[in-house]
């Protein structure tokens, strides 16, 4: 009944380096910086295209409307850090149109890319890395092809 060890050298709230509460499968290797920069460029390209179609944001990236090479600091991301209220309002506004929804998803992807580059490209469903080819074609994709397929199948019934 001697309860000696408890508390003495107890585990200090499991603070392994890198373990931020997210289960990270070992197989899921983050994309190298070069590829992340490629996705960033793809997202910014798509974003510019949609913003043009929407015509209401009028944002430019850098002096000539071009993002500086590999410099994400040049990117003005006005609604990223204004808190949830502003985000929700923006969302409600954007979701009124299909282009707006697309823009929202692109912004979400950019946010993920900037804030958590180490997990960008990871499937939100199964945690595997999404194939480069898929992200190249669809840089805001959140699901790997297998999970997406499953979702589509489920929809069809």
Q: Give the Å distances, CA to CA, from 95 to 18, 27, 111.
A: 35, 35, 18
- The CA distance from 127 to 87, in Å, is 26
Task: Give the nearest distance from C-beta 94 to Zn ion in angstroms.
Answer: 26
Q: Take residue 142 and report the two structure tokens written for it.
A: 């959140």
Task: Report the residue number, 67 or 144, with the smaller CB distance to Zn ion.
Answer: 144
Task: Report the residue number, 80 or 145, with the smaller CB distance to Zn ion.
Answer: 145
Task: Give the nearest distance from C-beta 39 to Zn ion in angstroms.
Answer: 17
Task: Give the nearest distance from C-beta 31 to Zn ion in angstroms.
Answer: 16
Task: Report the residue number, 53 or 128, with the smaller CB distance to Zn ion.
Answer: 128
Task: Give the nearest distance from C-beta 152 to Zn ion in angstroms.
Answer: 13
Task: Report the residue number, 37 or 125, with the smaller CB distance to Zn ion.
Answer: 125
Residues in contact with Zn ion by CB under 5 A are: 123, 125-126, 144, 147
For 121-156, letters b (16+ CB in 10 Å) and e give: bbbeeebbbbeeebbeebbbbbbbeebbeeeeeeee
Contacts (Cβ under 8 Å, ≥6 apart) of 113: 36, 39, 40, 43, 120
């Amino acid at each position: 009944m001697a309860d000696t060890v408890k508390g003495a050298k107890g585990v200090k709230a499991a603070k392994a380096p890198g373990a931020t509460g997210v289960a990270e499968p070992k197989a899921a290797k983050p994309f190298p910086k070069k590829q992340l920069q490629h996705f960033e460029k793809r997202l910014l390209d798509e974003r510019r295209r949609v913003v043009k179609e929407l015509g209401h944001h009028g944002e430019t990236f850098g002096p000539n409307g071009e993002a500086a090479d590999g410099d994400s600091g040049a990117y003005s991301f006005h609604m990223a850090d204004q808190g949830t209220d502003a985000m929700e309002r923006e969302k409600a506004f954007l979701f009124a149109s299909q282009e707006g929804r697309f823009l929202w998803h692109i912004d979400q992807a950019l946010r993920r890319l900037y804030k958590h580059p180490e997990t960008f490209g990871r499937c939100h469903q199964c945690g595997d890395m999404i194939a480069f080819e898929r992200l190249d074609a669809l840089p805001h994709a959140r699901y790997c092809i297998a999970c997406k397929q499953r979702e589509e199948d489920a929809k069809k019934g």
